[in-house]
Structure formats: structure tokens, C-alpha cells
């Protein structure tokens, strides 16, 4: 068999395995921060449009979106038990419940 054809077959096989696992999210804003949950299969993304997007990595679907009203979130962090998401916004800090998206604490 021609080496070129063999390489094409291997590449085609590789793409058929790997491609379904890629996660594509459509957005128009620049990403400012990302964080993976420790125990769950979630990825949290903040962007310059003041939004936090919660993505399920296993199903490759967007679960929810939270909006910060005044400014973009600069830094994201998550607690070791995946219950709380912390975001730094300029000189303020917000803490969200990861299940409900409700703001629990707001530090000025």
C-alpha cells in the first residue's frame, strides 16, 4: 500500500475518534478567564461581555449563562467541592452558587 494512502487512512481514523470530543462554543466576546470544576465535568468561561457560561464537557452543551451587570469578570476560581464559583470584577468579588447561579456574597 502506498505510504500516502496509509497516512490518509490513519488520519481519517484519528479524526473520527477525536473530533466528537471537541467542544465548540459560539460567542462574540473575548475570553477573560476559564476554570474547570474539580469533581464535576463542567467548564466555566467568563468573557468581556460580562457573562459566565457553564459548559458540560461530557455532553458538550451549554448548561447556563450568568450575566454580571457592570463589568467583565477578570478572574474565576472554584472551591474544592464545586459548590461555589468566585469571580473578581475590578476591585470587587462575587461568589455564585454553581448549581443555581445565585449570587451568595458580594464584597466591595
Domain that holds residue 79: 29-107
Please check whether residue 56 lies inside any domain of the structure: yes
Q: Could you read off the pLDDT of 15-51 as tens digits, one per residue?
A: 565 555 555 666 678 888 888 888 778 889 888 888 8
* Domains in the chain, number: 1
Task: Name which of 90, 86, 98, 85 is nearest 74 in CA terms.
Answer: 90
Does some domain include residue 50? yes
Q: What pLDDT does 21 receive? A: 52
List Cα–Cα distances, 32 to 27, 44, 96, in angstroms: 13, 11, 17
Query: Over the Cα atoms of the chain, what is R_g?
Result: 18
Residue 90: CATH number of its domain: 2.40.10.480
8 A C-beta contact, residue 55 and residue 45: yes
Instruction: Answer yes or no: is 80 within a domain.
Output: yes
Does the residue 22 lie in any domain? Answer: no
Residue 11 lies in a domain: no
Give the predicted TM-score (pTM) of the model. 0.72
Where do runs of H (alpha helix) occur along the chain? Answer: 3-18
Domain-embedded: residue 59 = yes
Amino acid at each position: 500500500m502506498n505510504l500516502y494512502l496509509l497516512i490518509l487512512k490513519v488520519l481519517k481514523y484519528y479524526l473520527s475518534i477525536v473530533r466528537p470530543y471537541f467542544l465548540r462554543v459560539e460567542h462574540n466576546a473575548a475570553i477573560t478567564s476559564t476554570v474547570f470544576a474539580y469533581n464535576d465535568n463542567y467548564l466555566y468561561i467568563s468573557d468581556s461581555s460580562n457573562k459566565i457560561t457553564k459548559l458540560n464537557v461530557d455532553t458538550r452543551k451549554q448548561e447556563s449563562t450568568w450575566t454580571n451587570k457592570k463589568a467583565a469578570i477578570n478572574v474565576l476560581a472554584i472551591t474544592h467541592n464545586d459548590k461555589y464559583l468566585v469571580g473578581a470584577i475590578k476591585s470587587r468579588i462575587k461568589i455564585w452558587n454553581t448549581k443555581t447561579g445565585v449570587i451568595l456574597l458580594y464584597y466591595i
